[in-house]
Amino acid sequence: MPKGNGKRGAMTPHRFFCINCGAEGIPIYRRVSRQYAAGHRKKLFCPWCREMVNHIECVTDEDVKQFKEDFEEGIYKDEAEESLLACRSTWQR
Ligand SMILES: [Zn+2]
């Protein structure tokens, strides 16, 4: 029986881009999986916005290119505002 757990598969950096300012956040290394997560939103702290804001997950250079195009088009603008408002209300006591 092969030692499945001892074998470390290739870790792929998943890049995250802030939908509010478009800056690249800290990449998260994930094990390669069949589940393709590109375009997935993840709430992360953006050091540039100094707030919790949704980030778009990018895996390939194509994803990054697509994000930058979409960001330039302003398609994340409303979502970014909603995300910031939602995060702010979460932190309010
Ligand atoms: Zn930001």
Does a structural domain hold residue 53? yes
C-alpha to C-alpha distance for 36 and 12, rounded to whole angstroms: 12
Does a structural domain hold residue 86? yes
Contact 54, 40 (CB under 8 A): no
Instruction: Work out how many domains the chain is built from and give that number.
Output: 1
Q: Which domain holds residue 76?
A: 11-91
Does a structural domain hold residue 4? no
Q: Which residues surround ligand 1, an ion (CB under 5 A)?
A: 18, 20-21, 46, 48-49
Residues in the chain: 93
- Give the Å distance between the CA of 1 and the centre of ligand 1: 47
Does a structural domain hold residue 46? yes
pLDDT in tens, the chain (93 residues): 555 455 567 888 899 999 999 999 889 888 876 566 667 899 999 999 999 999 999 989 999 999 999 999 999 999 999 988 887 776 555
Does a structural domain hold residue 5? no
Does a structural domain hold residue 2? no
pTM: 0.78
Does a structural domain hold residue 39? yes
Does a structural domain hold residue 57? yes
